[in-house]
Amino acid sequence: MAKYDFDTVIDRRGTGAMKYDALNELFGRNDITPMWIADMEFAAAPEITEAIMRRFAHPVYGYAYTPDSYWDSVRSWLMRRHGFSVEKEELAFVPGIVRAIAYAVNFFTAPGDKIVIQPPVYHPFRMVAEGNGRVVVENPLIPSPQGDTYIMDLPGLERVFAQERPKLMILCNPHNPAGIQWSRETLAAVGSLARKYGVIVVSDEIHGDLMLYGRRHVPFLDAGEDAAAVGIAFGAPSKTFNIPGLVSSWAVVRNPQIREPFYKWLEVNEFSAPNFTATTATEAAYNHGEEWLDSLIPYLEENIEAVERFFQQKCPRIKVMRPQASFLVWLDCRGLGMSQDELVSFFVNDARLALNSGTMFGSQGEGFMRLNIAQPRASLLEVLESIALASVEVNA
């Protein structure tokens, strides 16, 4: 019998879970299965739960101190999993990666400054930039000739840097929604261009621990001297161990000219002070959760393969872009011949599923949907059958 259980269905409704309890508000109905927001339907590693419960057993919940053991756990994890050596002074706590990106936007740029993103890409990049009065400049990704991945447009990126003179670029590494782990050569090229044109690169690496099919994560700051000179990386145990509600993330900055003023600003505004739940969970995850993660990865891979087989056999007009990292699958639904509104309605009202609309990630996502496959396999297969049935009924 497997040590860790990924097959038990857990009822999360009524627990304040965004994924479930916001369905009516966001999708217009509650009688649908949520496969949208990027958390998993699996219980957290018991080692994490046990550590939190031990701490909560103490009846005083006073102000928290960040112990050296917290930083040691982060540093050890990055070295063990990614061969990425980080010094303690290069690290800072941040309360969530989207917040951290917002901190960087507000500290390093001014209203009216330009920020580069590469759509289709995680939608808060645009929201944070535009919501803070910055101007978004796009360098869209290029679909591969086979249509099974995207390629970064490096010549286009240099044109954008040269012509638009942005202050900041927000990079998704691994990429969301397509699950691409950028190569070391590509990341090094980004770093070289950014240094040449004086652009700071903020790299969201929250999916970096969830590498699939034997691939290795390449941290942006580990992709050469130029990347280290211009980069700010944000990571977290939240996606890895299914603990995003505990809000524990970290920053890594190599260059002291970037790091020291930024970290000082975080400190004086008390943006870098974690609560004890965050530090307790992070230490437990990084020190004792590795076996759980090593059991999870093949389960996710098998779920992805089940999704691929299903669409090939029962709904071939929808193409699956196999992710290299994480549990989000980018579905090419253009073969259904629907507008984006019709596509969303098909999933919500016919298949009774809540997925992320592709255009959430930019206009380049027209005809696509993002599917979260991190759930018990029996439930996943049941959900897929509802897509097949809906497709038959729509085309009847």
Task: Output the domain CATH number for residue 365.
Answer: 3.90.1150.10
- Identify the CA nearest to 294 among candidates 220, 380, 214: 214
| Shared domain check, 332 and 248 | no
- Which H/E stretch holds residue 370? strand 368-372
Whether 6 maps to a domain, the answer reads: no
> What confidence score (pLDDT) does residue 325 get?
99
- The last residue of one of the domains, among 288, 304, 320, is 288
Q: Which domain holds residue 138?
A: 49-288
| Shared domain check, 353 and 239 | no
**Residue with tokens 């008390």, as numbered in its chain:** 270
The answer, yes or no, to whether the previous bond of 174 is cis (omega within 30 of 0) is yes
| Shared domain check, 182 and 89 | yes
- Which distant-in-sequence residues (6+ apart) come within 8 Å of 204 by Cβ? 97, 101, 122, 125, 170, 171, 172, 173, 176, 234
pLDDT band at 294 (very low <50, low <70, confident <90, very high): very high
- The last residue of one of the domains, among 288, 318, 342, is 288
| Shared domain check, 204 and 107 | yes
pLDDT (mean) for 94-101:
98
> What confidence score (pLDDT) does residue 1 get?
60
| Shared domain check, 92 and 34 | no
Percent of the chain with pLDDT over 90: 97
How far is Cα of residue 373 from the mean position of the Cα atoms in its chain? Answer: 14
Mean pLDDT in the chain? Answer: 97
Q: Running DSSP on this structure, what letter comes out for residue 325? A: B
- As to burial, measured by CB atoms within 10 angstroms (0-12 exposed, 13-18 middle, 19+ buried), residue 74 is buried
> What confidence score (pLDDT) does residue 392 get?
72
> What confidence score (pLDDT) does residue 394 get?
66
- CA-to-CA distance for 323 and 181, rounded, in angstroms? 9
Whether 281 maps to a domain, the answer reads: yes
Whether 225 maps to a domain, the answer reads: yes
Whether 272 maps to a domain, the answer reads: yes
| Shared domain check, 273 and 184 | yes
Helix, strand, coil percentages (3-state) for the chain, rounded to 5, are 50, 15, 40
Q: Running DSSP on this structure, what letter comes out for residue 51? A: H
As for how many domains the chain has, the answer is 2
> 33 with 383: CB under 8 angstroms?
yes
pLDDT (mean) for 33-48:
98
> What confidence score (pLDDT) does residue 393 get?
67
Q: Which two tokens stand for residue 85?
A: 């050596």
1 or 346: whose pLDDT is higher? 346
For the stretch 143-185, pLDDT in tens is 999 999 999 999 999 999 999 999 999 999 999 999 999 999 9
- The last residue of one of the domains, among 246, 264, 288, is 288
Whether 5 maps to a domain, the answer reads: no
pLDDT beyond 70 at 357: yes
How do beta strands 142-143 and 353-354 pair? unpaired
Whether 28 maps to a domain, the answer reads: yes
Whether 3 maps to a domain, the answer reads: no
* Cβ count within 10 A of residue 53: 10
> 359 with 366: CB under 8 angstroms?
yes
Whether 12 maps to a domain, the answer reads: no
* Burial track 362-373 (b if 16+ CB lie within 10 A, e otherwise): bebbebbbbbbb
Q: Which two tokens stand for residue 264?
A: 């000082």
pLDDT beyond 80 at 125: yes
| Shared domain check, 225 and 91 | yes
| Shared domain check, 195 and 119 | yes
pLDDT (mean) for 254-279:
98
For the stretch 207-231, pLDDT in tens is 999 999 999 999 999 999 999 999 9
pLDDT beyond 60 at 190: yes
> What confidence score (pLDDT) does residue 194 get?
99
- Which H/E stretch holds residue 124? helix 124-131
pLDDT (mean) for 107-132:
99
pLDDT beyond 60 at 396: no
For the stretch 363-379, pLDDT in tens is 999 999 999 999 999 99
Is the whole-model pTM more than 0.95? yes
Q: Which two tokens stand for residue 347?
A: 């999933």
| Shared domain check, 174 and 25 | no
- CA-to-CA distance for 10 and 19, rounded, in angstroms? 13
| Shared domain check, 218 and 267 | yes
pLDDT band at 391 (very low <50, low <70, confident <90, very high): confident
pLDDT (mean) for 310-332:
97
| Shared domain check, 209 and 346 | no
| Shared domain check, 329 and 358 | yes
- What CATH number did the domain enclosing 147 receive? 3.40.640.10
pLDDT (mean) for 192-212:
99
